[in-house]
Amino acid sequence: MFEFNIIAADLNCSARTGAFQTPHGSFETPAFMPCGTKGSVKTLTPDELKNLGCEIILANTFHLMLRPGGEIVEKMGGLQRWIGWDGPMLTDSGGFQVFSLSKLRKINDEGVTFQSPLDGATHLLTPEKSIAIQEQLGADIIMAFDECPPADAEKSAAKKAMERTHAWALKSLKAKQRKDQALFPIIQGAIYPDLRKESVRYITGLDAPGYAIGGVAVGETKEQMREVMETVCPLLPKEKPRYLMGIGEPDDMLAAIACGVDMFDCVAPTRLARHGSFWNNHGRHDITKKEFSVSDQPIQSDCECYACSRFSTSYLRHLIIEKEILGARLLTIHNLHFLIDLLRQSRKAIEAKTFQTFSKKFLSEFYAKER
């Protein structure tokens, strides 16, 4: 039902390509998973995502728990049927969201008590409840409940969060009943190498179908993030997929791929689009800048996405400034295409054993304006 096969590896680094089989089909790795937080990747239809080359998407347990509730999604036949997506899906545990509500929650060994940001109602989210909700939602890959400490956590606090994450991973595994879902436990330990190594030893000892690296993109520097990857990845089983949570900047993904990471997710491409920003081969740009007002060129000349093949930068700028929904849709299409295509090119380079050369060339162009 679940099978991960490594297809190619670049012997010059740890980059590899693979395919992960799920009950709703297979997806190629390295893979980027667009975030369908509340059951929808913002502004796009499932068919548009398929046309972009997207093979797997993510939904958010926390938000779907609050509204409409896991029981309603279950009655409607599960996430895939409810949202009209026939491919693989992943749901997070809800842990990151409740821990981000620092003024609205209290943590103990049982779970997290928090106030809903929607109506102020009090909820208790435990490992057992998180798994029960994810089983109602019915995604192919589900996540163990964990505690995600902030980047500036003292070592004692990071250690306590790690130990709680370990205990909750065990509870999550014991609570899981559905055999058609793969549960990934999460490695924590903040920026402390010895804690990360301890966490890897414990989490991989649970013999799960895949492993996630959590506690990154929470305020640490890029150098610290990469130190975490370089510490953790060599210790993970090569035959299991590796998921780096919350990462979606092009340079961070390339660095992670070189370390052997297989899966990514991030709200960045859709969030940036809604705020008028886009990526191209020469970096990240704010389309509202005056210099784009009379540009009759697409935002990326060699891009084949719908936005670039049909519209000028000048027109896209106009849509964003006027707050037309079409502007956010078109930039979302482009940003997602950009990341999905970057990983497609990465897979091709890995197969050709030229990933490091490809990555170096991409980054030299991407950061050219900063030099």
> Where is 356: in which H helix or E strand?
helix 355-366
Pairing verdict, β 57-59 and 89-91: parallel
Give the C-alpha separation, 35 to 217, whole Å: 15
- What's the DSSP call for residue 234? G
Q: How confident is the prediction along the chain (371 residues), in pLDDT tens digits per residue?
A: 899 999 999 999 999 999 999 999 999 999 999 999 999 999 999 999 999 999 999 999 999 999 999 999 999 999 999 999 999 999 999 988 877 887 779 899 999 998 888 999 999 999 999 999 999 999 999 999 999 999 899 999 999 999 999 999 999 999 999 999 999 999 999 999 999 999 999 999 999 999 999 999 999 999 999 999 999 999 999 999 999 999 999 999 999 999 999 999 999 999 999 999 999 999 999 999 999 999 999 999 999 999 999 999 999 999 999 999 999 999 999 999 999 999 999 999 999 999 999 999 999 999 987 53
- Of the residues 140, 252, 265, 341, which is catalytic? 265
User: What's the confidence (pLDDT) of residue 104?
Assistant: 78
For residues 139 and 90, the answer to whether their CB atoms sit within 8 Å is yes
Closest CA to 138 of 49, 73, 208, 41: 73
92 belongs to the catalytic site: yes
Give the C-alpha separation, 63 to 58, whole Å: 12
User: What's the confidence (pLDDT) of residue 371?
Assistant: 39
Count the helices and strands in the chain (H runs, E runs). 15, 17
Q: What is the strand order of the sheet 89-91 is part of?
A: 182-184, 141-143, 89-91, 57-59, 31-36, 263-266, 242-244, 211-213, 186-187
**Dihedral (C-alpha) 189, 222, 12, 193: value to the nearest 10 degrees?**
-20
- Of the residues 10, 47, 92, 286, which is catalytic? 92
152 belongs to the catalytic site: no
* 296: its two tokens: 């009759």
**Dihedral (C-alpha) 352, 356, 357, 362: value to the nearest 10 degrees?**
110
Closest CA to 31 of 210, 281, 235, 170: 210
Closest CA to 196 of 152, 159, 144: 159
Closest CA to 342 of 246, 259, 263, 250: 250
User: What's the confidence (pLDDT) of residue 370?
Assistant: 53
Residues of the chain with CATH 3.20.20.105: 31-266
What are the φ/ψ torsions at residue 24 (nearest 5 degrees)? -105, 25
**If one looks up domain 31-266 in CATH, what number appears?**
3.20.20.105
**SS3 of residue 315 by DSSP:** helix
**SS3 of residue 307 by DSSP:** helix
Give the C-alpha separation, 302 to 202, whole Å: 46
User: What's the confidence (pLDDT) of residue 346?
Assistant: 98
Q: How many CA atoms lie within 13 A of 361 on its CB side?
A: 9
- Which residues are CB-neighbours of 323 under 8 A, at least 6 positions away? none
